[in-house]
């Protein structure tokens, strides 16, 4: 029987104290440093599509454990794309949070100015208001 010597993993000392995004980026960067990386951005995009399909299957089968795992895989693949594009995924998400806040508050204000309460409006009206807020956001 052949005995394998213990090999120190390239991932061994990635701190668990990092945020999930930071840890994923560091894990992916270290794997890439030893040649385990998609050669092209299109490969990463295809991987994201694959993971999204697997997530859809978990959702379709109402399999909570699989859905949890596949959502993690989607986030990991998206983080890999962000790493390759040199985009901080947490900063991108926070920018989207701020955009959502701005648009949602526009919806609330529009409803209030019409004497309505957003929470009591049907979803179809909320969607119309969101599209209006989106359009206004595009102009500014």
Residue-level pLDDT at 137: 87
d(CA 55, CA 99): 26
d(CA 44, CA 8): 27
> Which of 115, 116, 106 minimizes the C-alpha distance to 139?
106
What are phi and psi for residue 112, nearest 5 degrees?
-60, -40
d(CA 106, CA 98): 12
Residue-level pLDDT at 4: 58
d(CA 106, CA 49): 33
d(CA 50, CA 43): 10
Within the chain, residue ranges assigned H as helices are 20-33, 41-60, 64-85, 89-113, 123-139
Residue-level pLDDT at 8: 86
- Ranges under pLDDT 70 in the chain: 1-5
Residue-level pLDDT at 131: 95
> Which of 108, 98, 113 minimizes the C-alpha distance to 129?
108
Residue-level pLDDT at 2: 52
The model's pTM: 0.86
Q: What percent of the chain has pLDDT over 70?
A: 96
Residue-level pLDDT at 87: 98
Residues 6+ apart with CB under 8 A from 99: 137
């Amino acid at each position: 029987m052949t005995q394998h010597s213990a090999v120190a993993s390239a991932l061994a000392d990635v701190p668990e104290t990092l945020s999930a995004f930071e840890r994923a980026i560091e894990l992916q960067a270290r794997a890439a440093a030893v040649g385990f990386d998609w050669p092209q951005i299109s490969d990463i995009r295809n991987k994201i599509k694959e993971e999204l399909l697997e997530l859809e299957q978990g959702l379709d089968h109402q399999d909570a454990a699989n859905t949890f795992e596949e959502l993690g895989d989607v986030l990991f693949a998206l983080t890999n794309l962000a790493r390759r594009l040199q985009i901080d995924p947490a900063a991108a998400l926070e920018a989207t949070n701020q955009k959502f806040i701005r648009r949602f508050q526009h919806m609330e204000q529009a409803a209030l100015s019409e004497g309505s309460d957003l929470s009591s409006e049907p979803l179809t009206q909320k969607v119309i208001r969101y599209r209006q807020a989106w359009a206004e956001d595009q102009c500014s």
